[in-house]
Structure 1
Amino acid sequence: MLRRHKGRESASSSDSTFYQLRPDCAHNVPDTKFKIKIGKTLSVRKWHAAFTHHGSLHIASVLNRIQSGGVHPAIRGEVWEFLLGCFDPDSTFDDRDHIRQARRIQYARWKEQCKHMDPHVGSGKIITAPIITEDGVPIKDPLVLLEAATPDQQASLISTKNGDEADHRLTDKQTIEWKLTLHQIGLDVLRTDRSMVFYEKKENLSKLWDILAVYAWIDKEVGYCQGMSDLCSPMIVLLNDEADAFWCFERLMRRLRGNFRCTQQSVGVENQLQHLASIIQVLDPKLHDHLETLGGGDYLFAFRMFMVLFRRELSFGDSLYLWGDDVGSRI
């Protein structure tokens, strides 16, 4: 799980060493400002030293380091499991092993349920076209079927006509709503962090798609909304195990799912936008008045910033630095 950085930690190191960018996309990505600072950043050595013999974590010293200099990229995955509440700082090594195993089993069960409803889940591929109509009729688009088929299955699918099998109309509304989101998840996954070398591997894209598909099923009240892929992507990058990444994302969504609840009367982040307006009005009244004059007094221009926690305004590493400082301050 721990991705160790080969070489000595240096003050000049930056996240670009760990989160490599595609050469053709580097000019489109904001420069990373975060730098590893010796004596301030939570290092690998300081992180390991913060655990007792039995495995409990001295969280206070860890938080002080995080707030003064961020987290070394080599241990971000492990640290985030504690910051997001996946593990109690007072838990032991054995406690966490049992919890991790139980969660992996639970995730596997949910994923199997989703796979039973739609074989695209866990196939190693993703879909980007609708597979069902709003009234529950399967869409047997050959291109969609070929997306998730194995090479052996593709040959038989090509020779199979759409009318060879009777359509089975679904009647369960929750299943229909879930299936209606799958292609949208696929479209968003293909647009998420495409500048990173990490996502040149199809297995990483499919892992992101699977996690979002499973989450959309278990959180039926919120389901899937655009922006969630931006929040889930860092978990895939930081944690090798898919189930571990899922649970970190699930914990993050416990804090943020209210942002994705929208009605005809309000949007999920409306309260945060109102707070921002109040703060700017006090700290910089001239700026607030100027925004009012331009018609931006509702601060909707900051909508995306709050929805995905500055993932698209900052570089990958800088956004995680901001997240760590914010989440750490709430523990």
Structure 2
Amino acid sequence: MEESPNGKPGLQAEGRCRRRVAAVSAPALSACRLTLAGVMDAEGRVDESRLRGHIFRNGGVTPSERGLAWRFLFGMYPCSSTALERSFLQEQLLVRYRVMKKKWQQFLPSTVRLQLNGTDAELFAAVRYFDEREAQTLQEAQDQSEEVKDRLAFLELQAQILFERVKFDLEELREAIRIIDKDVPRTNRDLSYYQEEGLGNLLVLRNILITYAAFHPEVGYAQGMNDLCSRFLEVLDCEVDTFWSFSCYMEKFSRDFMADGLHRKIELEAALLKELDPPLYAHLVRDNMERFTFCHRWLLLGFQREFKHSDALRLFEILSCDHLELISQKVDRARYQERLDQKHCTDGSESPQQTFNTDFTFELFICAAVLLDNRESLLHCRDDVQLIQFTSSLQGRLDLNSTLKKAESHFYNYCKRCAWDYMNGHRRANSIKDEDFFYQLRSLFILKR
């Protein structure tokens, strides 16, 4: 069987797709039956480029589409897979997650249950709901057919072999669990997903985070991961799918939870603001770069607190579709081709260097749009206390559509200026062609909201 480095099964496994899955959770099975209109073919394959463009241009997907779209968007499902192939993949992921969770629970049996201090009545209720759900899941497993049990037993043996050599660092894992047990109860319980019986989802979230930390010691656990993972759990409503989707997301963004990633984000946001508004940049960086630290929380959690919850989910998937980052690559490729053409038409003089900073991702322009929209208030902030008070005042008050339009405008103007700087010096005679180029560039930014 083919394996990927993180233990996620490939789709070329021997005997794949021989039968449909019967041993997965109800949310996962229903997701297998759904389709994404316009981006999925008859056999269930997804056009990834079209999916990302669909998400961006429509300002996100509908709530009914979101669960399935995220499974593709964040890499749990390969876009090239068919619906039948995903059924087999789902079963493998289910068994592997169970084996991984069982392994750390056997390693630290005293940490299997959340330690309660007796002061949080809601957590006591959460444990009760969670235990009831676990008992129901166990009963459903016992009621499965012998064929399904045999197949799951075989997959479990494979998973045990796969993870047999994984070793845990006792102290590191204990410390990760200690922080997780502090953060999970602080997860936003006002969400409907955590109301009444849904409180048990807090314990599901805990299991996912501990399993991730145990099998990704190079990343471990950092504060903020609970809020991020909670977003996946709410949308996917499935412990197994949440773990794998969250893991795929962290493969790309785990650095953001580390010190060097924090400093890099701050430096990039400061550099972009310097491009867009030098006076505001000079004011914020007057003492040191640490005055931009508040932007890192915005970027790390996808502005989770600054927009209302439904809009924060939309923004998260818009940012994750990387549509504008792909546009910037197209712009840069177009400019590169122009340099090649210019080189053939000149005496061989050296072509200009790239001026477009491809590290300026769309999320940075979202952040810049918020800063520029509140420029006067920021200029009146004279110390860190006033800055913190200002940023706190924005929570839940920002308008997503307005912010997106402003961010797109800043992004477009930045792309246009970078392209114009080149063209203005090397293609003055082709003004009509320049206009065509900018028209095509602008058309990539038009949204339907």
Give TM-score scaled by structure 1 length: 0.67
Q: Does 1:68 align with 2:57?
A: yes
Alignment of structure 1 residues 252-267 onto 2, 5 Å: 252-262=249-259, 267=260
Instruction: For 1:108 and 1:3, locate their aligned partners in 2 and report how far apart those are by CA, in whole Å.
Output: 17
Task: Name 2:146's counterpart in structure 1.
Answer: none
Query: 1:316 — aligned with what?
Result: 309
Larger Rg: 2
Q: Distance in 1 between matches of 2:44 and 2:66?
A: 18
For residues 200-228 of structure 1, the C-alpha deviation after alignment (integer angstroms, 9 at most, x for no partner) is: 33320000000001111000111111010
Structure 1 residue 295: Cα displacement: 5.2
Separation in 2 of the partners of 1:45 and 1:104? 19
Q: Residues 3 and 74 of structure 1 are in contact (CA less than 8 Å); yes or no, is this contact kept in structure 2?
A: no
Query: Partner letter of residue 194 of structure 1?
Result: R
Give structure 1 stretches of 5+ with no counterpart.
5-43, 130-143, 151-171
Looking at structure 1, the residues matched to 75 and 178 of structure 2 have their Cα atoms a distance apart, in angstroms, of: 31
Distance across 2 between alignment mates of 1:61 and 1:230: 29
| Per-residue deviation, 1:116 | 0.8
| 1:64 to partner: Cα distance | 2.6
**In the alignment, which residue of structure 1 is the partner of 2:171?**
176
Higher relative contact order (CA 8 A, sep 6+): 1
CA distance in 1, matches of 2:55, 2:35: 11
Quick check: 1:84–1:252 contact (8 Å CA) kept in 2? yes
Percent identical across equivalent pairs? 27
- Where do 1:69-218 residues align within 5 Å? 69=58, 70-119=60-109, 126-127=114-115, 174-200=169-195, 201-218=198-215
Distance in 2, Cα, partners of 1:173 & 1:238: 30
Judged with a 3 Å threshold, the aligned counterparts in structure 2 of structure 1 residues 248 and 46 are, in CA distance, closer, same or farther, namely: closer
Matched, 1:236 2:225: no
Report if aligned partners of 2:67, 2:235 keep a CA contact under 8 Å in 1: yes
The alignment partner of 2:282 has SS state of helix
Match status 1:52 vs 2:41: yes
C-alpha distance 107-68 of structure 1, shift in aligned 2 (>3 A): same
Q: 1:225 is aligned with what amino acid? A: A
The one-letter amino acid of 1:84's match is: F
SS at match of 2:261: coil
**Which secondary structure state, in structure 1, belongs to the residue aligned with residue 188 of structure 2?**
coil
Aligned residue in 2 for 1:153:
none
Cα distance in structure 1, aligned partners of 2:301 and 2:106: 31
User: Aligned partner of 1:79: which letter?
Assistant: A
Q: How many Å separate the matches in 2 of 1:128 and 1:77? A: 32
What per-residue deviation string (whole Å, max 9, x for no partner) do you get for residues 102-142 of structure 1?
Answer: 11111000010122123366x6x52367xxxxxxxxxxxxx
State the Cα distance separating 1:294 from its structure 2 match: 6.3
Shift of the alpha carbon at 1:302? 1.3
Distance 2:225 2:43 in 1: 36
Q: Aligned Cα RMSD in Å?
A: 3.1
**Do the aligned partners of 1:198 and 1:237 also contact (CA within 8 Å) in 2?**
yes
CA distance in 2: counterparts of 1:179 and 1:229, whole angstroms:
17
Which one is further off, 289-298 or 179-188? 289-298
Distance in 2 (alpha carbons) for counterparts of 1:75 and 1:205? 24
Distance 1:320-1:210 versus aligned 2 partners, 3 A rule: same
The letter of the residue matching 2:169 is: Q
Q: Give the distance between the partners of 1:177 and 1:83, measured in 2 at CA.
A: 31
**Residues 82-101 of structure 1: per-residue CA shift (max 9 Å, x gap):** 11111222211121112111
Q: Confirm or deny: 8 A CA contact 2:45 2:79 kept in the other structure.
A: yes
How far has the Cα of 1:241 moved from its partner? 2.0
Could you tell me the TM-score, scaled by structure 2's length? Answer: 0.51
Contact 1:269 1:306 in 2 (8 A): no
Quote the offset at 1:250 in angstroms: 0.4
Cα distance, 1:255–1:232 mapped onto 2, change above 3 Å: same
Structure 1 residue identity aligned to 2:176: T
TM-superposed deviation, 1:47: 1.8
Provide closer, same or farther for how the CA distance between residues 210 and 173 of structure 1 changes in structure 2, counting only shifts above 3 A. Answer: closer
Structure 1 residue 192: deviation in Å?
1.3
The CA distance in 2 between the partners of 1:2 and 1:116, in whole Å, is: 27
Bigger helix fraction: 2
Q: Secondary structure at the match of 1:309?
A: coil
Which stretches in structure 2 are left out of the alignment for 5+ residues?
1-26, 118-123, 132-166, 327-449
Cα separation, 1, equivalents of 2:219 and 2:28: 32
Q: Which amino acid aligns with 2:109?
A: P
Shift in alpha-carbon separation, 1:49–1:307, aligned structure 2, 3 A: closer
The separation in 2 between residues aligned to 1:313 and 1:101, in whole angstroms, is 38
Q: What is the Cα deviation at residue 46 of structure 1?
A: 7.8
Distance 2:320 2:216 in 1: 22
Q: Indicate yes or no: 2:219 matched with 1:226.
A: no
Q: 1:176 to 1:294 in 2, by over 3 A?
A: closer
Match of 2:244 among 237, 242, 247: 247
CA distance in 1, matches of 2:277, 2:28: 44
Query: 1:270 corresponds to which letter in structure 2?
Result: H
Partner of 2:7: none
The count of aligned residue pairs is 250
The alpha carbon displacement at 1:319 in A equals 2.1
Q: Secondary structure at the match of 1:269?
A: helix
Asked if 1:291 is matched to 2:256, the reply is no
CA deviation after TM superposition for structure 1 residue 297, in Å: 6.3
